[in-house]
Amino acid sequence: MQPLSIIFMGVQGAGKGTQVTLLKEYLAQRDARATFSFETGNGFRELMQGTSYTARLVRASMARGELQPVFLSVWLWARALVHEFTGEEHMLIDGFPRSVFEAQVLHTAFDFYQRFPVTVLFLDIPDEEALRRLIARGRHDDVPEAITRRLAWYRESVLPILEWYDLRDEYELVRIDGTPQIEEVHRAVVAAIEHQRGN
């Protein structure tokens, strides 16, 4: 099996992290190749635990439901690639890119590491379902007002990335209904990946 390069996209609450975990387990059963995965939200949450000036600003910004600056997002995933990626693993990206500009920056990393083709899996759920799931999740920054702002920003700023990917030969965009039960969505994810690999 050749190493896979997969980007999981979707609004917060779409189940990206859960599907990344299930896919890692599926891939582990198929071959001995390790999996490199990075989730931008976890990176920011870890950063928030610090005592630095940057950490304090991120905490305050997250509490207001604001988008974090591009330079921090790029720094988080670029640092992980530089220090943790060996080049042999399957690569699963969750929560990044968040704009066409960031997609272009990430594109340079895929090019540098010679990881094409890349599969983009878009887990699609309605905003109402995302709101329900995020409130149930109960994180401190998951209050209705902040969630609503993040969802509005996502629809306005992130969805154009899908068009950018759809127009490029290096990427295969697959839209998946993220509303069914977890296992059903997982089966759809696996089916999409196996279809792309020609199995």
Helix-helix angle 53-63:40-48, to 10 degrees = 120
Q: Cα separations (Å) of 114 from 5, 104, 118, 119?
A: 10, 15, 10, 14
CA pair distance 115, 134, nearest whole angstrom: 33
CA pair distance 193, 182, nearest whole angstrom: 17
At residue 141, the pLDDT reads 65
At residue 122, the pLDDT reads 95
CA pair distance 11, 95, nearest whole angstrom: 9
Task: List the pLDDT tens digit at each of the 199 positions of the chain.
Answer: 689 999 999 988 899 999 999 999 999 998 889 999 988 878 888 888 889 999 999 988 887 767 788 899 999 999 999 999 999 999 999 978 988 999 999 999 999 999 999 999 999 999 889 888 988 887 766 778 878 888 888 888 888 999 999 999 999 999 999 999 999 999 999 999 887 666 5
Q: What is the CATH number of the domain that holds 128?
A: 3.40.50.300
Which of 66, 62, 39, 71 lies closest to 150, judged by CA?
66
Which amino acid, 34?
A
At residue 114, the pLDDT reads 95
Q: Cα separations (Å) of 49 from 46, 94, 185, 192?
A: 5, 20, 32, 37
- pTM (2 d.p.): 0.87
Domain that holds residue 171: 5-196
Tally of structural domains, the chain = 1
- Count of all residues that appear for the chain in the document: 199
Q: Helices in the chain by DSSP H: which ranges?
A: 16-30, 40-48, 53-63, 70-84, 100-112, 127-137, 144-153, 159-166, 182-196
Joined together, the tokens standing for residue 198 give 């020609």
At residue 1, the pLDDT reads 66
Residues 67-86 as b/e (b if ≥16 CB within 10 A, e otherwise) read bbeeebbbebbeebbeeeee
Which of 85, 76, 136, 147 lies closest to 110, judged by CA?
85
Alpha carbon distance, N-terminus to C-terminus of the chain: 11
Edge to edge, the sheet with strand 90-94 lists 35-39, 90-94, 5-9, 118-124, 171-177
